[in-house]
Amino acid sequence: MSTPVTSAEKPQGWMVKDLAASVVVFLVAMPLCMGIAIASGVPPEKGLVTGIIGGLVVGFLAGSPLQVSGPAAGLAVIVFELVRDHGISALGPILLLAGALQLIAGVLKLGGWFRAISPAVVHGMLAGIGALIVVGQFHTLFDAKPLSNGLENLAAMPGRVMGLEPNNIASTELALIVGLLTIALMLSWDKFRPVALKLVPGALIGVVGATLFAFFFGLDVVRVNVPESIISAVETPGAGFLSPLGNPAVLMTALAIAFIASAETLLSAAAVDRMHDGVRTDYNKELRAQGIGNMLCGAAGALPMTGVIVRSSANVQAGAVTRMSTILHGAWILGFVALLPWLLREIPMAALGGVLVVTGARLVSLKHVTHLFSHYGLLPAAIWVVTFALVVTTDLLTGVLAGLALSLVELVPHVRSLRLKVDSDHGAERSHVRLTGSATFISVPKLNTAFDAVPDGKPVTLDLHQVPAIDHSCAELLREWLQRAAKRGNEVELLGSPYQLKRLAV
């Protein structure tokens, strides 16, 4: 388990550990940066520029030392729709505005409130995004472009399959073979990889294997097209740069990107915190760093960024100690695309489509909705289902807003006791935390502040006798805190009714 530390506490050998971790993250990030760009309807180099900024700039400023930032699958759908409706020229000013909103939110210390978003909404959103990526990138496996929306992509899938000609192997059939080979290599590697090579990412194996296959057999398939110089991928603002912001629909898109990117980043940071016992995330600092990063991406004409859990978890598992591993991974991306662009141009587009099909499928976690239903009842599961269904059938913003609106129904039975009171007493030998009132998702920021103040290694008494109700957002928060407290050496005495104790059983 990795532990980020301050400069005064760096253990011997931290530079070697960070260097090794940065290489692992770089290998994970390269195919994802390009693949997410393609899924977003923009050239692959746009994703690489975002990955470089996420490492070199946001990595240096981040409030979560081990979190890695870059282009995220969670925003691919909304960017695809934006480019489709308003053109790629609108992406820059939108990101500039979205980043400014994130920066302002961080300055106003609103970071903690993003953690109050219902987990059912977030996971329903991610599952919907995953489904849209799968049905969209299904067409990339055939060397074809995804259609304009999820339902059209879904409706066109049978036609793609029926159009195959097994007796006439041409570019379409060859591309599908390459894509399926990528998927097979990824899944096989993840299942059977040797212990000694556990840090080598499956996406890398899939892309390298498929690229070598296409190269040695001279397959006539569409390949990645990147410029000779990464500098040419940077589009600096020119005359009329901000003119798209006069469109109300564009302004709403900027607001949606700022909101979704912030929520995904801070929830990812919370997940990274659960992976180690070191410094906790400064959510407001992280939000400010993401805002600066997205403003730079807007100025460079690149993709939006978030904190991303796949690359971040790879960073932690690879033994990263400080933020230097994140910064270095950005340097490796820059060096690679600057010195070896010809190598990237050998990668088949279908291979990147295969990577994204697997990535999208993993976002569709039915396990989460069954967990919500079995532990917390029908309403949280319904929030997940409604969010998922509307993201797939309408658009991302509609699905998220509907999920948030449905979350408010959880507050209705507790409207008279919504104001949760937290009394903390950290004595010399034991800490006492007493809650009074209903614990709902609007109490999450207050609970996080209280739990972060509990000293490590000291016994804690958590008294829930005066808590008449705990919704699923707070129940998940309390369960996670109890697990983290046990790892940090806190002996927790939990006081409450049998119903409450069963609800929080870890």
Q: What is the mean pLDDT of the chain?
A: 88
Does residue 415 surpass a pLDDT of 80?
Answer: no
* Residue 10 in this model has a pLDDT that exceeds 70: no
Distance CA 471, CA 443 (A): 10
Residues 369, 373, 375, 378, Cα dihedral to 10°: 140
Chain segment 160-179, per-residue pLDDT in tens: 888 888 877 788 999 999 99
What is the tens place of the pLDDT at every residue in 337-355? 999 999 999 999 999 999 9
Residue with tokens 């059912």: 120
Residue in the structure block whose two tokens are 């990263």:
320
What pLDDT score was predicted for residue 11?
Answer: 55
Identify any residues that bridge with 461 across adjacent strands, giving them in sequence order. Answer: 432, 493
pLDDT for position 498:
74
Model confidence band, residue 8 (pLDDT cutoffs 50, 70, 90): very low
Residue 268 has pLDDT above 90, yes or no: no
pLDDT tens figures, 472-506: 888 888 888 888 787 777 888 888 877 667 767 64
The confidence score (pLDDT) of residue 3 equals 46
pTM equals 0.84
Whether 7 shows a pLDDT value over 70: the answer reads: no
Strands 421-426 and 431-436: antiparallel
| pLDDT given at position 1 | 44
426 - beta bridge partners? 431
Please state, in angstroms and as integers, the Cα–Cα distance from residue 190 to each residue in 5, 31, 35, 197, 253, following that order: 31, 16, 19, 11, 36
User: Domains (ranges, CATH) in the chain?
Assistant: 7-351 (no CATH), 364-413 (no CATH), 418-503 (3.30.750.24)
Given a cut of 90, whether residue 67 has pLDDT beyond it is yes
CA distance 398 to 20: 42
pLDDT at 12: 52
Rounded to whole angstroms, the Cα distance separating 37 from 74 reads 12
Q: Work out the pLDDT band at 387, boundaries 50, 70, 90.
A: very high
**Which residue in this structure is represented by tokens 């507790």?**
414
